[in-house]
Structure 1
Amino acid sequence: MRTCLDISVTSLPRLSEPLCAGALRRCWATWCRVVSEQVQTLVGARDAVGGGSARDYDRRMTDVSLFFQRLLGNAAPVAAAVAAEYTVDELAQAAQTTVRNVRAYQDRGLLSPPERRGRVGVYNGEHLARLRLVGQLLERGYSIASIRELFDAWAQGRDLAHVLGLDQAIRGPGEPEQPGRLEFAELQAIFADDLEEAVIDRAMAMGLLQFAGDHLSVPSPRLFAAGVELYRAGIPLPALLDELESIRRHVEQVSTGIVQMIVGHLVNPLLQSSLPRADQLEGLSAQLLQLRPLVEQVVEAELARGLPVAANRELSERVHQLLQGFLQRG
């Protein structure tokens, strides 16, 4: 029976070898959180991953196998662990693979070590279920490294969208803005007596400035430079910080709406009932990457439209007030 994984504004994990090329930007990454919560509704609560006995490892391994079996959906079912024992040859035969593959998967961390009985390694039904699951994921085009990352991400409670490569498609291309360096004396020279302790604390809390030893780090030099120019034009620092907080709230709201639209119409249909093939993910990533500039165009066009509208409204009201005052005095 298929199990539907309902992914709304959410996500999935990160690859050492990304399945998809490109990357989609930070303001869109709000959707990359939910699959972890959705996952827990599929397999129930889970103990924290850490050290433990071989039995604990096997139990966690079984949970992972059950979860990914549900994601596979229409693949042949992986039987629940049974009370059976296998030598490495018997395990390979039961899983329709080779002894060489079994040992390779074990070396890569996809299988837990067998129980040692003298010189013989004894495997069980949980090993067989995991081995069959690996085979199904390989058939869907996932590499060994990708499968290992998927298993590790689930076991460690990490986000599954990193592994599937969709977060990179959402962040977009290009390198992130590099932080700038600012000396304390430079900051004092720019803002002089207006540089009060409360203002500095607030700028730190908003991530505009960071202490970096004997100097300051500016995470976004472009944002800082814009703030400096607005301050020099005559806008007080507290007013600038107030407006930035307001802008951030509205931008995050707009970003969430855009992401919900894209996830609802493009991502969810692909992830409705099963884990997509690697080539499907790559196609989706390419599609999302093409949409990013279009979304930015829409936002820029609306901002260009809204600024003069707001300016005309505010200035008209002010001029009207001045004229009324002049007439009353006249």
Structure 2
Amino acid sequence: MTTDAGETPLTIDELAARAGVTVRTVRFYAAKGLLPPPEIGPRRVGHYGPGHVARLALIEELRQQGMTLAAIERYLRQLPPDLPPHGLAIHRAVVASWAPDAEETVPRRELERRVGRPLAEQDIERLAAMNVVVAHDGDTFRVDAGLLRLGVRLLDVPLSLEAIRAAREVLVEHSRAAAHELARLFRGEVAERDAQDVKSLSAHMHPLVVQALLTTFQRSLREELSEWLTGSGTG
């Protein structure tokens, strides 16, 4: 995994600080093979890039969701080896959505601290269009923590508010339809089981189904974009 062009490489201390972990933790993950090795720069100093930052954030999210080290290793092995930072960020957002309640109410200053930059009114409007934030009371906002990082990455993407709202409606509509059909299928499987079995099955199936839907959607979108680019003569 290499640093991206135009991105300032990070030392291991800077990587740890960016991720909010210790250098010892970074080295532990690297020794376990969860983090790829850094690029070796002058004086044999290791340099880390956006891919390392995104992967480390995903690992920490998985850990906070209660996954064991072995489970995290299995999860990461299923990811494409060349998955770019934004793909890792999407996985992290999905993992964060496993939490029973991903919404918080925070003041504007705290929201800007989490985003990492001051927010203009147009930024707030774009985050609201993605349903990442909802104005709560004055300068206080209800924030969907699971979508926040993804929303921040989309702030500077050249899409109109209308396109963002329309895309969200498409995703919500089809996600609900898929959830309804899957729930109907699983209800048939658990009809004869007791309540504890149903609860256990739900806890196990939730992350598996989410990951399966994400992987299937990514492949379908990649195929659609490839066909579009080929048809338009720009591929």
Provide TM-score, normalisation by structure 2: 0.46
**Which is bigger in relative contact order (C-alpha 8 A, separation at least 6)?**
1
Q: Which has the larger radius of gyration?
A: 1
